[in-house]
Amino acid sequence: MASHIARRTFLATLVGGAAATWPLTARAQQPAKVPTIGFLGSSSPASQGEWLAACLQRLRELGWIEGRNLTIEYRWAGGSSDRAAELAGEFVRLKVDIILTYATPMVLAAKQATSAIPIVFALAADPLGSGLVASLARPGGNVTGLSLQHTDLASKKVELLRDLIPGLRRLAILANAANFASVREMGEVQAAARMIDLEVVTFEIERAEDIAPVFAELKDRAEALYICIDTIFFSNQTRINTLARDARLPTIQSNRASVEAGGLMSYGPNFLDLFRRAADYVDKILRGAKPGDIPVEQPTKFDLVINLNTAKTLGLTIPESFLLRADEVIE
């Protein structure tokens, strides 16, 4: 069991310097065009910069160095699908060579903006069901990347909550009604909860302003909270975790960053690993591969992360046997 204080590192750029040019030949060959990546972040550098840094590091390993033989245009949508659409349109006007993004609403915004520029998603909850790709084996079109398999993990996460909270009877679910992947996950959670006779109450939002009223309604109506995947929740994770602690509600979320920001527990794919693997997609496309021919891949690493400080704040004692199941314990 790994146990250490979580650290966050953000690298906005890795190496500066002028764009590389090929040596002149006797025929005065023109300098090679430096490819440009348009990076569309779903939230902000403060909350998700570590994921981007993992991708940039892998690009370096593959020989793509920003400022030397690669240019990157960075844009952050702050959890807004409308803003993502604007930024995707900006990338089209800039004529970037690849759009690199993640999270289903961001990928959809990019896909709606262009059918010509290759799009790589580092993670998407349900790329097939949400219409991002025609199939996982042969995506077709201009979009490919890595699936989260998120709906497949719903029952496992419900079981983890039940194992951690003795006598759990009432479960609340928080989802974004405007996000297909979030709503589909909610349905899977409801089905999993029914299988073990849990009472379920669901809350659907569409804006960040809806979050606080949900917690006011939640009071005394649930003993735990399942938070479905969504860019609004990523962008407001610290606020959500504070409200959950104030309501004395144990939560389970989708990724380690949410637990580092004060959530109780997460279970899901290792996002850093997925972002590293996304760099391989970028590399293949920059070297001539067509995105529609590159299969969508599944996660290979899944992590259970627990925040002991949050558990203590909630007055929750986590059994040693449960801690031993964790891949990381934040304390």
Render pLDDT for 292-320 as a digit per residue (tens, 0 to 9): 999 999 999 999 999 999 999 999 999 99
CATH of region 151-268+303-330: 3.40.50.2300
| CA distances in angstroms from 319 to 263, 269, 311, 316, listed in the order given | 18, 24, 11, 10
pLDDT, one tens digit per residue, over 148-189 is 987 789 999 999 999 999 899 999 999 999 988 899 999 999
Query: Coil, strand, or helix at residue 96?
Result: coil
Give the model's confidence band at 31: pLDDT under 50 very low, under 70 low, under 90 confident, else very high: low
Query: Coil, strand, or helix at residue 119?
Result: strand
DSSP state of 18: P
Buried b (16+ CB within 10 A) or exposed e, 102-120: bbbbbbbbbbebbeebbbb
Residue 29 has pLDDT above 60, yes or no: no
What does 191-219 look like in DSSP terms, one character per residue?
A: HHHHHTT-EEEEEEESSGGGHHHHHHHHT
Residue 243 has pLDDT above 50, yes or no: yes
Predicted model pTM:
0.83
Portions of the chain given CATH number 3.40.50.2300: 2-148+270-302, 151-268+303-330
Q: Tell me the angle at which helices 154-164 and 180-195 cross, rounded to the nearest 10 degrees.
A: 50
* Domain 2-148+270-302 annotated CATH 1.20.58.220: no
DSSP state of 33: P
